[in-house]
Amino acid sequence: MKDFIFLFRSPHSELQKLSPDEMQGLMGKWNTWIKKLSDAGKYKFGDRLSRDEAKIVSDFGRIITDGPFIESKEIVGGYIIIQAENMNEAVEISKECPIYNIKGMVEVRTSAY
């Protein structure tokens, strides 16, 4: 088994459209999906990412800017680490992600080593 990271990207504008009840329903779908992965022994860990505090460090640390940038069209809202036999299985697992309900996407990556 290999570890894969799912990076969840979604248009910020889609999140703003959700009512509190719709947001609660979406979170329920996330909880159900994560539980399913956990019960199958695929889920390792993950978390939502804060939109309130972040820094972008570049130029060998000489440039530090505030972020994330809400004016950007999409945000990386969180991540999880799963275990799968290969990339094909990881992609299949990602197809059930609730992010698609808000026009989001999943970036599936693994270590090069």
User: Which pLDDT band, with edges at 50, 70 and 90, does 72 fall under?
Assistant: low
78 has pLDDT over 90: yes
- Where is pLDDT greater, at 111 or 45? 45
Average pLDDT for the chain: 90
First to last CA, the chain: 13
β-bridge mates for residue 110, sequence order: 4
**Looking at residue 92, what is its pLDDT?**
97
CA dihedral of residues 35, 39, 44, 49 (deg, nearest 10): 0
Percent of the chain with pLDDT over 90: 65
Q: What is the pTM of this model?
A: 0.85
75, pLDDT greater than 90? no
Check residues 73 and 64 and name the one with the higher pLDDT: 64
Q: Which domains does the chain have, with CATH numbers?
A: 2-102 (3.30.70.1060)
Beta bridge partners of 105: 9
